[in-house]
Amino acid sequence: MKYCLWLFLVVSSIWTQAQTSQTSTNEVVKGLQESKVNQGKIVIFQDYGIDYLLDTQLNANKQSSGFEGFRVQIYKGSGPAGKKGALEAKSTFLSVYPNMSVYLEYSPPFWRVKAGDFRNKYEAVALQERIKNLFPSCYVVKDPSVNMSKLK
């Protein structure tokens, strides 16, 4: 049981570092095994298959444009009037929140305007509460491609 917990912690720390730094697996493992003054030393014994899996995950992360998160949908309409309404909603939102990301999407027959890039629903709800007076029909939606670079 101790071994399984230790292995889980090591693999999860490697995965976390791999997610944030986007480096190769060998660099992550070497970084963990480096001896540092006044610190313990980590020795990792692992199967070569783990390196393969970690490299596969790193490559998938590099190709991904984002991750599943949340946005606030501020407008939805269809047809020519829907396009005009979507453009107006986008410009209205940007005039009040010029530093926030706004996304105009067309998925026939609907035009949608979504705002923000949030990791969780609670962050998106905070924006929803702030803009309720300006966009009374806004609501929080899951989005499959929230931009990682836009997160604080």
pLDDT digit string, tens, across residues 26-81: 676 777 777 777 877 778 777 878 878 878 887 776 766 678 899 999 999 998 89
Judge whether residue 23 has pLDDT over 60.
Answer: no
pTM of the predicted structure, to 2 decimals: 0.60
What is the CATH superfamily name and number for domain 67-150? Sporulation related repeat (3.30.70.1070)
Indicate the average pLDDT of the chain.
82
The DSSP string of 115-136 is EEEESSHHHHHHHHHHHTTT-T
pLDDT in tens, 88-103: 999 999 999 999 999 9
Where are the domain boundaries for CATH 3.30.70.1070 in the chain?
Answer: 67-150
